[in-house]
Chain A
Amino acid sequence: MIEQGKISYKQLISMIVMTISPTAILYLPTITYKEAKQDGWISILIVTIYAFLVAYIIINLNKMFEGKTIIQYSGKIVGKYFGKVIGFLYCVLYIHLNATVIREFSEVLAGPFMPETPLLFFTIGIMLPSMYGVYKGIEVIARTAQIIFPIFLGAVIIIILLGISDMDFSRLQPILAEGYEPVLKGASRQISWFSQTIILTIITPFTNLPKKIGKMTYIAVILVSIMIILVNISIVATFGGEVELMNYPFLSFARYISAIGSLERLDSIIMFLWIGGVFIKIVILHYCGVIAISQLFSVKDYRIFSIPVGIILIILSNILWGSLTELKESIKMINVPYNTMVQAGIPTVLIIIEKIKRRFVHNEK
């Protein structure tokens, strides 16, 4: 069955925000702090510009080939064989990225909450509904995202507001103590998150009014950026230099909250946030992976890939990394350069080639 569903703009914003933010909120503050120290928020501002650039390229590329995904049009730009290679790279990207996310997800549940439970248990637990969601199609995923997104955003803001009494904003000083170098380094660590607008290359054809898609994407990127800056500032203002040592600073932050007398131990909210948010992220990436594979092999009914890809994801997320340390190291060493190349590099190259081609063809006429 060819995907027939259509998604609205609100749903598109929710999907983009929910693709970037859930893991970013939990893992990014430490990663950024290691490089940029208290200037993490400046790093995020810088990386937001980068996110706009990537989004701009992807949106323009999609505009040139309306109603088609990158798997379909890359062949038209660089020829059949290179097109297949690019398509394959995207399949690998979505599956590898998703395996990373699933592993991050189960590490959080296993680390601070249920240390004795095997990871496989969480992985299977999240993949079963994910396979079902992908099987049901884009509309179901988009609606789920639309429901969870406001709750997610609200919970993050409430947690930050409740913790405000313990913050000391002087911990954000001095600003730019070591110049721009560490800030840029901190920004470079975040680019694999902020270029995840790459999901647009797959889901654009399913939106119902393709002209407004650019504006909506920029709104989503700004929302993500504001949310992550807020999280980053509140964590640094609360924990100062300790952030560097923490595995999950936002979780520690929620645990530390004690407001209005007895309102404390809010880790359960984080648990809810985390499971709801990451589920959407996993489903979207799973869906993109399945669509990419089905179009790469020109299979009409994408749904037959839902379960096999799900099983591959379960296996990969469990065998690729031995421990949290290994996972973090590989994110730093492999994911950042690889994701940047595929998420930002390939669309840039494609758009340049296409532009030149079109001008050339135009001149010939």
Chain B
Amino acid sequence: MRNKVILSLCIILQISLLCGCWSKKELDEISILSGIGIDNTDDDKLLLTMQVILHREMKIESQSGKRGEERPTQNVEVIGDSLIDANRNFILQTGRRGYWSHVSVIVIGEELAKKGISPILDVLERDNEIRQRTLVLVAKGEAKEILMGETIDLEVIQAYNIKDMIRIAHNDGKSVKVDLRNYFLMSSKESYSSFIPGINIIQTNGSRNGNIELKDTGIFKENKLVGWFNETETRGLLWILDDIQSCITEVNYPKEKCNSVFIEVLRSRTKVEPVIKNNTLEKIVLNVSASGKIAQSNEYVDITKTKVISEIGKATEEVITKKMIGTIKKGKSLNVDIFGFGEAIYKKNPKLWKEMEEYWEDIFLSIPVEVNVNMEIKRTGLISKSKKDKGM
């Protein structure tokens, strides 16, 4: 009997210990954020657009099975001296604390990006609520408009839509994908330059705020936006960085007829190889080996012949080489080594890199780059020849 009393006393005492932690966050005191847009105001303050998930709306939706007129998210605009300050000012407008752990995208406004984003980066790396997997984007224009923009409603929360856009587009070789960790890694490397996918808003009839689309790649040098890579250059960048998962490449074949064949790249591997002779850097060689299949053909192509296939392969190699060289040219014109050439030299010959480091910007501009592509076409799809049109 006495033991039972002691036991039950112990259990009762435990209740007081187990009920919660000191630093608890009650659900009715926080508001969960899904996306953040960061712009700067005219008087050098930060304008944060914080996308709040309205969980009540989501609940109604799942109960009724119908989607209401309004989105289950709402954007709150807050002005503050810094990220932390703005996050506190968020309370003034909403009465809740912003909870950053579920933020999936951070959109940086173009103006702010041009001015430099170093101060906000420190908070993003230091704070324990922010996940390093959060994706970063740079808006062509204002970040707040991006978060207000329309997307197709596959995902009810708009920020998560943007996240999916980047993920899938990256898989298809249409866009780069950069999360906070990638950004910090890039900007702290030998080159001090980095890139972030761009996002744009297109005005169309019928939509209230315009649709958003991923477009171009913002190029950063020392955390300042210095230029943009267009779609072809972005593709070239992905080729150089060995970041292609799969992509479609258009090739003219046969050349004299100017007809297109589309090649789907299935596998690829790029190696950056600095050629060093007599302790001087001679050139940088990029070796690409890839394999793919024919995704679309035309009537002049006779796939049954191996010669034709290897010719198409050759033509593809040329196209890819051209793209990569164009990208490197653009990179040189902006004077940013986002291709990791400096790092490759450091890995190959750290002593030489120490000597070169100081003059790397000049060396980078003058160094010849050689691109060797080896493309193998392995599959041709379900049919062999294309059908001929009667009229031709």
Contacts and interface: CB of A to CB of B under 8 A. Distances in A.
B346 interface: yes
A111 B22 contact: no
A105 to B, nearest CB: 16
Contact of B22 (A117, A174, A252): A117
Interface stretch (B136-144, B180-188, B262-270): B180-188
Contacts of A364: none
A264 B185 contact: no
25 contacts: A113-B23, A114-B21, A115-B128, A117-B21, A173-B347, A174-B347, A174-B349, A174-B350, A177-B346, A177-B350, A178-B350, A239-B185, A240-B185, A241-B185, A241-B189, A242-B184, A245-B125, A252-B132, A255-B131, A255-B132, A256-B131, A256-B132, A256-B133, A258-B133, A265-B131
Interface of B: 21-23, 125, 128, 131-133, 181, 184-185, 188-189, 346-351
Interface in A171-189: 173-174, 177-178
A258 to B, nearest CB: 6
Contact of A117 (B23, B133, B181, B188): B23
A112 interface: yes
Given A174-B348, A242-B188, A114 B181 contact: no
Nearest to A117: B22
Nearest to B186: A240
B23 A242 contact: no
A116 B23 contact: yes
Contacts of A258: 133
Interface residues of A, number: 26
Contacts of A170: 347
A255 to B, nearest CB: 7
Given A174-B350, A256-B132, 6 more contacts: A117-B23, A121-B22, A240-B188, A241-B185, A255-B131, A258-B133
Point out which of A121, A174, A258 has the most chain B C-beta atoms below 10 A from its C-beta: A174
A142 to B, nearest CB: 26
B124 to A, nearest CB: 13
Nearest to B179: A256
Contacts of A114: 21-23
A331 B185 CA distance: 28
B133 A111 contact: no
A178 B353 CA distance: 12
B181 to A, nearest CB: 6
B16 to A, nearest CB: 14
Contacts of B349: 174
Q: Which 5 A-B pairs have the closest CB atoms?
A: A177-B350, A117-B22, A114-B23, A173-B347, A112-B128
Contacts of B350: 174, 177-178
A252 B131 CA distance: 9
Contacts of A241: 185, 188-189
Nearest to A247: B126
Contacts of A173: 347
B128 to A, nearest CB: 4
A264 B133 contact: yes
A283 B343 CA distance: 46
A112 B346 CA distance: 34
B132 A115 contact: no
Contacts of A265: 131
A240 B189 CA distance: 9
Nearest to B125: A245
A173 to B, nearest CB: 4
Contacts of A238: 181
B293 to A, nearest CB: 25
Point out which of B125, B128, B351 has the most chain A C-beta atoms below 10 A from its C-beta: B128
Nearest to A125: B17
A178 B354 CA distance: 10
B181 A115 contact: no
B345 to A, nearest CB: 10
Contacts of A117: 21-23
B348 A239 contact: no
Contacts of A115: 23, 128
A265 B346 CA distance: 34
A255 B184 CA distance: 16
Given A178-B350, A242-B188, A111 B181 contact: no
B353 to A, nearest CB: 9
B137 to A, nearest CB: 18
Interface in A197-246: 238-242, 245
B169 to A, nearest CB: 18
Contacts of A118: 22
A10 B65 CA distance: 58
B128 A239 contact: no
Contacts of B351: 177
A51 to B, nearest CB: 29
A114 B21 CA distance: 8
Contacts of B346: 174, 177
Contacts of B21: 114, 117
Contacts of B185: 239-242
A178 B22 CA distance: 47
Nearest to A264: B133
Nearest to A242: B184
Contacts of B23: 113-117
Contacts of B189: 240-241
A172 to B, nearest CB: 9
A170 B131 CA distance: 24
Nearest to B189: A241
B376 to A, nearest CB: 24
Interface string A117-157: 11001000000000000000000000000000000000000
A172 B125 CA distance: 23
Contacts of B184: 242
B188 A111 contact: no
Contacts of A245: 125
A121 B22 CA distance: 9
Contacts of A239: 181, 185
Nearest to B101: A265
A226 B23 CA distance: 36
Nearest to A116: B23
Contact of A111 (B125, B128, B132): B128
Contacts of B188: 240-242
A111 B129 CA distance: 11
A170 B347 CA distance: 8
Contact of A242 (B128, B181, B348): B181
Contacts of A240: 185, 188-189
Nearest to A38: B347
A45 to B, nearest CB: 20
Nearest to B348: A174
